[in-house]
Structure formats: C-alpha cells, structure tokens
Amino acid sequence: MYRMMMKSKVHRATATRTDLDYEGSLSLDPVLMEAADMFPNEQVHVYNISNGERFVTYLIKGKKDSGELGVNGAAAHKVSVGDKLIVVTFALMSDEETNFCTPRVVMVDEENRIKLVC
C-alpha cells in the first residue's frame, strides 16, 4: 500500500504580494524552497491561517534572499498581503518508507527569514 504523506512545509510565512494577472502559481524565495526541500513546479497545498482559505498550486522561484512569498493568478483572491500561510508538499510513500521519513519543517519570522529547520 502507498500513502500520501507530508514531505515538507514552510510554517507561518507572510504573504508579501499578490498578482491576479499572473497565470498562476506561488512564488517563493529559493532559500526557503531549498531549506524545505521544495522544487520549482512542485505541487503545494497552501493553508491561509488568517482567513481559513485553502488551495493547491505549484511553485516558482522568487527572488533569492528576498523573503518573497507571492500568490499569483486566481489564488490571489484567497490571500491578502500580510496573511500568514502554511505551504505544504506531500510525497507518495510505501508503508515501509513511512517508518523512515521525517517531514522537514521550516519555521520563519515576520520577514520570512528562517528561524528553525526541523
């Protein structure tokens, strides 16, 4: 049996911009992407702590060392600048793999700078 398990997340990041006219995606500082083991074009689930909205999209690289977390396209209707977001990736794993996998969690400050990786 295979299970969809949490692989990584960036926890309580602050939305820095929204762009309705962009075709879609979530732009994220590559420093955060690397720390969270996330890749461009990878599917992400986004949970808006500020208003309860949830949506699925994909990642693109933002500007390095900028703390950028931009919400683009239709999803921009679900987020306001300053909202607190959780960005999560998942991976399909066998039952055996689940015994050895520990999700990577990246905690950030108000400016989306890394405070802790666990």
The 10s digit of each residue's pLDDT in 53-63 is 999 999 999 99
User: pTM of the predicted model, to two decimals?
Assistant: 0.96
Residues with Cβ within 8 Å of residue 96, at least 6 apart in sequence: none
Name the stretches of the chain with pLDDT < 50. Answer: none
pLDDT of 87: 99
Tell me if 105 is assigned to some domain: no
Tell me if 104 is assigned to some domain: no
Tell me if 34 is assigned to some domain: yes
Name the domain count of the chain: 1
pLDDT of 47: 98
Tell me if 57 is assigned to some domain: yes
pLDDT of 42: 98
Domain range holding 53? Answer: 2-94
CATH code of the domain covering residue 56? 2.40.40.20
Residues 8, 44, 55, 25, Cα dihedral to 10°:
140
Closest by Cα among 15, 30, 26 to 110? 15
Tell me if 20 is assigned to some domain: yes
Cα separation, 117 vs 36, in Å, equals 8
pLDDT of 23: 81
Tell me if 114 is assigned to some domain: no
pLDDT of 118: 96
pLDDT of 72: 97
pLDDT of 24: 82
Tell me if 107 is assigned to some domain: no
Tell me if 106 is assigned to some domain: no
State the catalytic residues: 25, 58
